Structure 1
Amino acid sequence: MLSKTMLLASAGSLALLAAPAVHAQAAADASSPADPAASAEQGEEIVIYGTGKVRQEQTINEAALDILPPGSSPLKAVARLPGVALQSSDPFGSYELGTRLSVRGFNQSQMGYTLDGVPLGDMFYNNHNGLHISRAIAAENIARVDVSQGAGSLAIASTSNLGGNLEFISRAPSQELGGEIAATYGMYDTVHLYGRIDSGELSTGTRISLSGVYHDADKWKGYGQQTDRKINGKIVQRIGAATLTGWLNYSLHKERNYADLSPATLDRIGYDLDFLRPDFDTAVRLSQISANQTASAAKRPLPFPTAGLVFPTPYTNVNDTYYDSGGVRSDYLGALTLAVPVTDWLAVSATYYHHDDKGSGGIYTPAVFSPDGFPLSVRTTEYGINRDGGIVNATATLGDHTLQAGYWHEDNDAITDRNYYAVSQSNRPDVTDFLANPFRSDFLTDLTTVTNQFYVSDSWRLSDALTIAGGFKGARVENGITTNAGTPFINGKIAARDWFQPQIGATYRTGGQEFFANYAENMRAYISSFRGPFGTTQVGFEAIRDVLKPETSRTIEAGWRFETGPVRGVLALYDVKFENRLLAAFSGANILGNPSILQNVGSVTSRGVEIAATYRASRAVSLIGSYSYNDSTYDDDTVNGAALVATKGVRTVDTPAHLAKGELNYDDGRFFGNFAGSYTSKRNVTYTGDVTVGGYVLFDAALGYRFPEGGPLAGFELQINAANLFDKKYIAALGSGQFFNTAASLNNTLQAGSPRQVFGTIRKRF
């Protein structure tokens, strides 16, 4: 606590010292678009409804990110959009293992994500081809997010976007010398520090920005912290008419996990159930009792006679909870882009990017004892990613036609290892560290992914009112695995390919009204992960390699964008067919690590409606609201091994039928604030729908003040944020320990939502 107080005091002192030195510069920049007060006076829209787009698409701008508690994931800002469901166990949406995003019934790993055009993979916690946006860049450095709920762009560098895409665009270095310092302190000993400096445009035509983040937050229950360290750098260089842009981002992310819950543990123990640390003795005793029960059932002598056979209240099972669990990720992500206007009708750009990741997720397990017989060990799943890629795009404007073509190639060499580390009374490894010297390895694997994708498109403006856009993309993704040691021993390759994935759409604009329609087909490639075709035995892999089909989707959507006086918004309808759904059939508790068999289990039909609108009552006051209804059901019963699971006609797991959101925003240049509420209806936990979690309503609020220009505190801001304002108890993320067929097979797989948390921020822009 003392060290955090000193950090906050230091940040505040730096801001105060900076005030007189930059006061004149701040006054000179008062009318700059980057100036927050000026932006407010210009009536900047928080949500932009995609005018001119042939598909359902919205843009979230920088103002929507600024109003969030500092340290929040950009996904928190996106969650205000229709059709987007976001749940997280923490108030920031940055705790990766407990955060789930779904759109129109598609889950997080079935969408596409990029940062400045660079692919982030499917953003799943078990890294294999990318990283989460919360690690890729500091949220304060994001300028906007373009969200497509349906088909997604042909040009996006993704092979997972069955259900749309999120494209994150970072802030460019400012044209003027300046920067920002911000310090946040809040409940559960939360400290968030952010600093940024912009060089302005130098005489060489160069602009540079450099920023850093220091973030620590105690868990709201249990033991431990969530920790983030980030450094982001970006440079823009003019080279004649061309522009060279380079950026490099570093992240060190540590998270101590929240325990997964089940309906049984919720009833018996409640929302506050978490991992046992620092209560080591109870964790040891639970493991000993479990071993005794196993021995007793086999009529063998008890290995730990003093522990007995009965679990201490309130526990009834060794898997109710464990001693500790957490993870660590270290990432370097960087890119170079050269954009060249070749002629007045042709522009080309080329991007090279590199990503290096090292990660580990660990848990204290009673399933494997340490070598000396101590009844616990630390089981880790360790990850590594080394990927390089290149993207080339060209745009030609020929009369009424805008032609585009592009190519994307990526080589990804990854590892996934399963190791065990010894535990004793005097040796308790930290699950948020990179550990060394395992006593056992279940498997050591090398994984490869080679991606080749292209697209061509044409946007044809037939008149001032009517535009037709169409094209197609093609992709081939080859996944390979080499097992260097361990069981199951599996080697081989599998490829997904579809060289023709068409998309065609149109917009028609008359007055302030615009109508759009779009048809698109997409394919999701296999993944080089044990969540994919490699999560089985060699025999199992050979059985599926030639018969497995990649997941595909067909999306039809149409809508109306309207603008009537102070009201603007969108109404959209969609029909989606999701085919060749892949499901891994597991057996036993997730911690046991049993192999699975991936199989195609039929299709899903999703139909729905989305409506969103902004009412600008004045330059200072705006109201934003949205409602979406989604009817997403399984078309087939599911075959799980030899068993038939009755899923036909059942709503898909973790898919709310109703989402309703509303917010009031105020910004007069000095005072600003936000009051937002959202409703999420009930969701299925099991594939058969015999276990559900109830719907809930959450409210967040923010209030701030900017000191006036010309005064001694010019450029300073104060901001207070409250997340879950009315302290609602609810279940947030589902499927943290996978999904299950029925209540009878259900294990711990629910995450409790964060209680009310309040944060205060002081910020200095100069």
Structure 2
Amino acid sequence: MKKIHLVSTFYSLLLVTSSHEALAAKKAAPGSAQSGAHPKTAAVAQASAPGSHAARASGKPVGRNAARNIVASRAESFSVVGLHKSRSTSVVVGSDLIAKSVPGSNPLKVLAQMPGVMFQSDDPLGLDTWSNQFYMHGFFQDQIGMTLDGIPLGDQEFHSMNGLNSVAAITSENVSRMDATMSAGAEDTASTSNLGGAVAFHSSDPSHKMGAKIVQTFGSNDMFHTYFRGDSGDLNAAGSRFYVSYARNDTHKWKGGGNQFSQQVNAKFVQPVGESSSISAYFDWSDIELYNYQDMSFDMLKNGGYDIDNFIGTRNAYAKAYRSALSANALPGGSLPAGYEKMSDPWDASYYDGGTLSRDYLGGMNFHFLLTNRLSWDSVVYGHGQYMRGTWASPYMASPNGAPLIDQMTLQHSQRGGFTTALHYDIAHNHISTGIWYEGLHASVGRAAFQEPLLGEGAPVNSLGSLPAPFATLWGEQINSNSLTGFAEDTYSPLPNLALHFGFRSLLQTARAGDTQNLESYTGTSALASGSITTAKAFLPHISADWHFLKHHELFFDITENVKSYPLAAYKQGASPFALSQSTFNLLQKQGGLKPETDWNYAVGYRFSDTFAQASIYAYHTNFKNRLQQITSGTIVNPISTVANVGGVTMNGVDAGLTLTPIRGLSIYNSISYNHATYDNNLSEPGVVYQLKGQQIVSYPRLMYKNSLSYTWRDFDAHFDTSYVGTRNFSYTGDMKVPHYWVESLGARYHFGKTIQKVSPLKDLTFEFNVYNLTNVKYISTMGENGLPMTGDYQSFLVGAPRQYFGTIRAGF
């Protein structure tokens, strides 16, 4: 395996090549035209600089160097140089690059090719929402603002009430591009959590021509992915059009038993209004039904093995779970499966099952109106409803019929809705924008207990199917919130190659929780957290500048202050004040320990962009205050969990990237990232002081390296990708660490294109082959899904998938 890494690095450093898809400085950014605009308007819009709404509509160029901000290629080999806006660094990843991954893959996996970005999952496509984790320059997914066509996707944590996972919001084949904004993000992002950047997903527009697309993928573990999309084409002279798509993904788990299934419907309608305005509507329905992989500890990994998992789907599954539960409670007839006695906690190593079910409805409308040649108005209205259940069989509570285990489920119903509206005005050398965002949320969440049958007297509960009536409600909460943000910004261009940005945002969020049910014998507390919390910041400034000097060179800096509103999560579900008992909630409020997370971000960077080479270096410094973390111990079915303010964090980091493309068809990309993020303070609790000061933050490595080699020859292209993730702290004190690992992937595809059109009604036919984890390395991927310990071991990580093969056929009509 070391030889592969050395060869990859050697060629990446020495080969100086180019591609016929080389980056064109005059090419417009993908999707820079207003979404849904008429073809005539789009042609004008793409001729102007990004970020200027009036210029996009009128076709007035902002400056002769504006086009240099765009670096893209027809085949979209990943480049370290992306779209740069004066307000912050932004990398644009388009649909062609997404299409190189296995169909149905989480688009965030593609973004993980960027320097300083890490994506973790226990499945090769990144679809298991329980295990998905996304980091960008030391910021976790609940500290990054995410939107889809301007619709807020909210907090990306699994237990979040005010968010929607991106894989449930849109089918990956319908993503036209992603704009990843590092550092501070943008003040106009509709988010209360963007401490360290933003990711904006953009759905593709319906085609102007009637047609259809079919994608069929087969893979390891009986993986079966189907995607179908039909486009209406223009329905009238104005250009009204729509599409509807359906995607279905079904695969057996790569270890243990059970399957992972999802299906999704997307629809979009676009109505141009006049020459320069448009209205569009987007709808998403998602159904996710997953048997999850079992969470692991270091003890389980060492003494139980890499392939240990829950029992469901294996031989005598319920009997093994039943007898293990008897053993856990020291009851007659109890026994453990062979080899389990080696583990210190064999009863939590495998449950009967554990699963996730989520059904979501998301809808939104976008309005873009050019009011004058200088003034435009953009608004979004949206709504989201979710039903979700997280389930696992617990061996620590008996059913009323005497069975030694129950099926316990966390059930959630949530509804949220809101709007954004903004005005954009160009005058002299200024582009001025101002706007607001409002969202209201209501969520009801609780945990119910379902009776399991006596052994041999019926089938166990189907936790992903229809449910019987529960025999008990273990706890319940209701949470309501109202969020309001406002922003104002001005980008001033005193010279054609210089842009200065000044702006600020204001944030106000109020949230209230109420205890609706509490079984004290289960929760161990007399009352769950009830009360209200408020996050309020009236002035969060943002200053940046972008200077294009000489012909291929660019310098920029970015300074901002940000705040993250208090997380909204129920009892023991995250680092939220509402995840606590009433007594702890009251104590923290009294002591002043409940404070929202804030930070100051400072970033500076340099880019070189030419036909044959693109290079960048990006350095950043962040000062965090009031970092809230979930500290956990005990068993994962009913953990001992608390929320701690671990104080400040100081983070310094640097990325360096290089893309070489000097011979036709070949592109080589390398990046290396270093992040030094340490806790500023020790944590004191009654009778003990935990030595956190100077320790690297949990879950994020100090060092990452990425390499990609891609080659295109006529209608054939292939790519080889390597990723190195360094050692990560598992415990806050750093006494337990997750080892580093390398993972390689390989892909190839052939386009028949015009050839197939001559002999069939197909417009396009493509065959693809992909291999994930080429060297079949064993590694720990996701960590902290159940919280992380202050010190020592805990059952809270997931291992990555072994080598997986995928074959795909794409056809267009």
Q: Same fold (TM over 0.5)?
A: yes
Matches within 5 A, 1:32-431: 42=74, 44=76, 46-47=78-79, 48-203=81-236, 204-240=238-274, 241-277=276-312, 278=314, 279-292=317-330, 303-304=331-332, 313-317=341-345, 318-424=347-453, 425=455, 426-431=458-463
User: Is the aligned partner of 1:582 residue 2:582?
Assistant: no
Q: Report how far residue 127 of structure 1 moved.
A: 3.1
User: Judging changes above 3 Å, is the alpha-carbon distance between structure 1 residues 472 and 551 closer, same or farther for their aligned structure 2 residues?
Assistant: same
Q: Which residue of 2 aligns with 1:765?
A: 812
The answer to whether structure 1 residue 747 and structure 2 residue 797 are counterparts is: no
Mark the CA change 1:107 to 1:640 in structure 2 (over 3 Å): closer, same or farther: farther
1:468 aligns with 2:515: no
Answer whether contact 2:772 2:805 (CA < 8 A) is retained.
yes
Residue 724 of structure 1: aligned partner: 773
**Partner of residue 557, structure 2:** 517
Partner of 1:19: none
What code does the residue aligned with 2:588 have? I
Contact kept, 8 Å, 1:330 with 1:357, in 2: the verdict is yes
- Aligned-pair CA distance for 1:161: 1.2
Aligned counterpart in structure 1 of residue 646 of structure 2, from 595, 601, 616 = 601
* Range 40-49 or range 521-530, more displaced: 40-49
Q: Does 1:660 align with 2:695?
A: no
1:527 aligns with 2:567: yes
RMSD: 2.2
Deviation at 1:174, TM superposition (A): 1.2
- SS of corresponding position for 2:586: helix
Post-superposition CA distance 1:65-120 (Å, at most 9, x none)? 10001110001100000000111110001111112211222222111111111111
Q: CA deviation at 1:433?
A: 3.0
Residue of structure 1 equivalent to 2:532 = 493
The answer (yes or no) to whether the contact 2:130–2:356 under 8 Å persists in 1 is no
The Cα offsets for residues 627-655 of structure 1, whole Å up to 9 and x where unpaired, read as 11111111111124543211100111111
Q: 1 CA distance for matches of 2:545 and 2:600?
A: 17
Tell me the amino acid that sits aligned with residue 598 of structure 2: T
Identity %, equivalent residues: 30
Q: 1:543 aligns with which of 565, 587, 595?
A: 587
Change in Cα spacing, 1:525 to 1:228, as seen in structure 2 (3 Å) is same
TM superposition shift of 1:243: 0.6
Aligned to 1:261, the other structure's residue is in SS state coil
Q: Which amino acid aligns with 1:760?
A: G
Letter in 2 for 1:571: I
Q: Displacement, 1:267?
A: 1.0
Aligned to 2:31: none
Q: Give 1:333 deviation, angstroms.
A: 0.6
What amino acid is aligned across from residue 391 of structure 1 in structure 2?
T
Quote the Cα distance in structure 2 between the aligned partners of 1:167 and 1:372.
51
Deviation track 1:194-241 (CA, whole Å, cap 9, x = no partner) reads 011111222153110111101101100001111110000000002224
Aligned mates of 2:77, 2:615 — CA distance in 1: 12
- Rounded to whole Å, the distance in 2 between the matches of 1:167 and 1:306 is 53
Deviations 1:234-285 (A, max 9, x none): 0000222421110101000111111111111111111101012242222122
Q: Secondary structure at 1:443's aligned position in 2?
A: strand
For the 8 Å contact 2:671–2:707, the answer to whether it is kept is: yes
1:570-719 matched pairs, under 5 angstroms? 570-594=616-640, 596-618=641-663, 620-709=665-754, 710-712=757-759, 714-719=763-768
After superposing the two structures, state which structure 1 stretch, 705-714 or 629-638, moved more.
705-714
Question: CA contact under 8 A between 1:43 and 1:619: conserved in structure 2?
Answer: no
- The equivalent of 2:36 in structure 1 is none
- The structure 2 residue matched to 1:477, chosen from 470, 485, 509, is 509
CA contact (8 A) 2:239 2:271 kept: yes
> What letter matches 2:620 in structure 1?
Y
Per the TM alignment, residue 410 of structure 1 is displaced from its structure 2 partner at its CA by 0.2
- Per the TM alignment, residue 612 of structure 1 is displaced from its structure 2 partner at its CA by 1.9
Counterpart of 1:580, as a letter, is N
- For the 8 Å contact 1:41–1:668, the answer to whether it is kept is no
Normalised by the length of structure 1, the TM-score is 0.90
Q: TM-score, normalised by structure 2?
A: 0.85
**Number of matched pairs:** 718
Mapped partners of 1:683, 1:427: distance in 2 = 42
Once the two structures are TM-superposed, the CA of residue 537 in structure 1 deviates from its matched residue by: 2.0
User: Could you tell me how far 1:126 is from its partner in structure 2?
Assistant: 1.0
- Distance 1:207-1:539 versus aligned 2 partners, 3 A rule: same
**Residue aligned with 1:282, SS:** helix
For 2:271 and 2:772, locate their aligned partners in 1 and report how far apart those are by CA, in whole Å: 40
Report the CA distance between 1:512 and its aligned residue: 1.0
Q: Is the 8 A contact 1:56 1:557 kept in 2?
A: no
**Alignment check: 8 A CA contact 2:293 2:310 kept:** yes
Output the CA distance in 2 between the equivalents of 1:42 and 1:65: 13
> Structure 2: how far apart are the matches of 1:161 and 1:421?
39
Q: Secondary structure at the match of 1:96?
A: coil
Q: Which runs of 5+ in 2 are unaligned?
A: 1-41, 44-70, 520-526
Q: CA deviation at 1:593?
A: 4.3
Change (3 A) 1:102 1:642: farther
Deviates more, 1:632-641 or 1:304-313: 304-313
Query: 1:704/1:367 Cα in 2 relative to 1: closer, same or farther (>3 Å)?
Result: same
1:356-401 CA-to-partner distances (Å, cap 9, x unmatched) read 0000000000121111221110111111110011100111011100
**2:613 paired residue number:** 567
Of the structure 1 ranges 429-438 and 248-257, higher mean CA displacement relative to structure 2 is found in 429-438
Residues 717-766 of structure 1, C-alpha deviation per residue, up to 9 Å, x if partnerless?
100011111111111111122100111xx221121110010111111123
Q: Distance in 1 between matches of 2:258 and 2:214?
A: 27
Read off the aligned partner of 1:377 and give its amino acid letter.
I
Question: How far off is 1:434 after superposition?
Answer: 5.4
Say if 1:54 and 1:452 are closer, same or farther in 2 by CA, change over 3 A.
closer
What amino acid sits opposite 2:555 in the alignment? F
CA distance in 2 between partners of 1:676 and 1:307 (Å): 46
Structure 1 unmatched ranges of 5 or more: 1-31, 34-38, 293-302
Moved more, 535-544 or 79-88: 535-544
CA deviation after TM superposition for structure 1 residue 559, in Å: 0.3
Asked if structure 2 preserves the Cα contact closer than 8 Å seen for 1:40 and 1:669, the reply is no
The equivalent residue for 1:6 is: none
- Give, in whole Å, the separation in 2 of the partners of 1:615 and 1:587: 48
User: Are residues 40 and 501 of structure 1, via their aligned partners in 2, closer, same or farther at CA, if it must alter by over 3 Å?
Assistant: closer
Q: For residues 500 and 603 of structure 2, what CA distance do their matches in structure 1 show?
A: 15
Distance 2:740 2:452 in 1: 41
Shift of residue 150 of structure 1?
Answer: 1.3
- Give the letter aligned to residue 332 of structure 2: F
Tell me, yes or no, if the aligned pair for 1:383 and 1:414 is still in contact at 8 Å.
yes
